[in-house]
Amino acid sequence: MNALASIRSVAVAPGFATRSLPEHVAALAEQSLQLEVHTWPKPGLVSHVDTGSHTDMDADTFLRSGSAIRPFFAELVEAGMRNGDMAELRRIGLRAEFAMLRATGGINTHRGAIFGMGLLCAAAGLRLAGHADAGISLGDAVAKRWARGIVDGPYLLYSHGQAAARDFGAGGARQQAASGFPCVYEVGLPALHNAFALAPGDAEAARVQAIFALIAVLEDTNLLHRGGLTGLQFAQQSAQSFLDRGGIGQPDWRRVARATHRAFVERRLSPGGAADLLAMSLFVEAFSASI
């Protein structure tokens, strides 16, 4: 048995005895996307409670999309195990986008997640196969192996995020990835960990705290597309105000979070980039705990 076959046959945790490592990692990725959807109040975003600032999608749209792209996350893990280059990862990602659009009737639910989560899945493959030091983060593995391919790769001509990045000079998802996803490691994960001290045992509250922390600092190209600089500044200031008042540690935090959510909806603001980074933070945490 070669090294790759040996790695893929290992059972990594109870309940995964019959699942290969790529399938296990892909399951963690889909689960993280599901947890993001099942988080509320979440300013302007689709959840299991309402559709936020969107009229063309709901929670079921996201769940169908997550199920459709899960096999491609496994393929990306396998590509990482082969030490594949960015061109190979991009081909898998494009097929994942086609599957997403087919599952949703043409609605873009997870293009950003396919890119960001997909790179983290590929980095997981790098580490599992020994192509990256087991002591470095998945984000650092992405930056070390694929940063140049990420920055130099082709741009989508009709991407709202790319247009916003061009018009407003924001770094966008591409810069986050090439830098090793600093918002995941410096904002999302610390917010999740610190939130458990504020609301012990309440995992959804921790996710709410993390999404507000991410919105407060991210130059979210989704917000720039929908609201311009004014919309981005409103979103960041609103999120920071929630955190400054104690976040989920304040007694009436759910009321305040709901009011912020309504304010975003009134302005049609949707921080989709922050939502992707929340899911990616959850994935990194789950991967670290299970491997």
**How does residue 33 score in pLDDT terms, banded at 50, 70 and 90?**
very high
d(CA 96, CA 118): 10
Mean model confidence pLDDT for the chain: 90
- The whole-number average pLDDT for the span 102-129 is 97
Q: What is the pLDDT of residues 54-77, one digit of tens each?
A: 999 999 999 999 999 999 999 999
Report whether pLDDT(203) > 90.
yes
In the prediction, which pLDDT does 159 show? 54
Lowest mean pLDDT across 13-22, 98-107, 255-264? 13-22
Q: Give the pLDDT of residue 1.
A: 31
- Checking if the pLDDT of 110 tops 90, the result is yes
pLDDT of residue 12: 40
Handedness of CA 222, 228, 233, 234 (dihedral sign): negative
Q: What average pLDDT does range 7-18 have in this prediction?
A: 38
Average pLDDT over residues 153-159: 58
Q: What's the confidence (pLDDT) of residue 17?
A: 43
pLDDT of residue 168: 47
Cα–Cα distance, 224 to 164 (Å, whole number): 6
The range of the structural domain enclosing residue 112 comes to: 3-8+17-290
pLDDT band with cut points at 50, 70 and 90 for residue 6: very low
What pLDDT is recorded for position 153? 73
Name the phi and psi angles at 8, rounded to 5. -70, -20
pLDDT at site 3? 29
Q: Residue range 274-283: average pLDDT?
A: 98
For the chain, percent of residues with pLDDT exceeding 90: 85
Greater model confidence, 13 or 27: 27
pLDDT on residue 291: 75
Q: Is 234 a residue whose pLDDT tops 60?
A: yes
How confident is the model at residue 161, as a pLDDT?
53
In the predicted structure, residue 111 carries a pLDDT above the cut 70: yes
> Once rounded to an integer, what is the mean pLDDT over residues 202-214?
98
This prediction's pTM: 0.90
Beta carbons of 73 and 26 less than 8 angstroms apart: yes
Quote the percentage of the chain above a pLDDT of 70.
88
User: Which H, E and C letters describe the chain, residue by residue?
Assistant: CCHHHHHHCCCCCCCCCCCCHHHHHHHHHHHHHHHHHCCCCCCCCCCCCCCCCCCCCCHHHHHHHHHHHHHHHHHHHHHHHCCCCHHHHHHHHHHHHHHHHHHHCCCCCCHHHHHHHHHHHHHHHHHHCCCCCCCCCHHHHHHHHHHHHHHHCCCCCCCHHHHHHHHHCCCHHHHHHHCCCHHHHHHHHHHHHHHHHHCCCCHHHHHHHHHHHHHHHCCCHHHHHHHHHHHHHHHHHHHHHHHHCCHHHCCCHHHHHHHHHHHHHHCCCCCHHHHHHHHHHHHHHHHHHHC
Provide the number of structural domains found in the chain.
1
Amino acid identity, position 75: E
Q: Look at residue 14 in the predicted model and tell me its pLDDT.
A: 43
Of the listed ranges 100-104, 121-125, 203-207, 225-229, the least confidently predicted one is 225-229
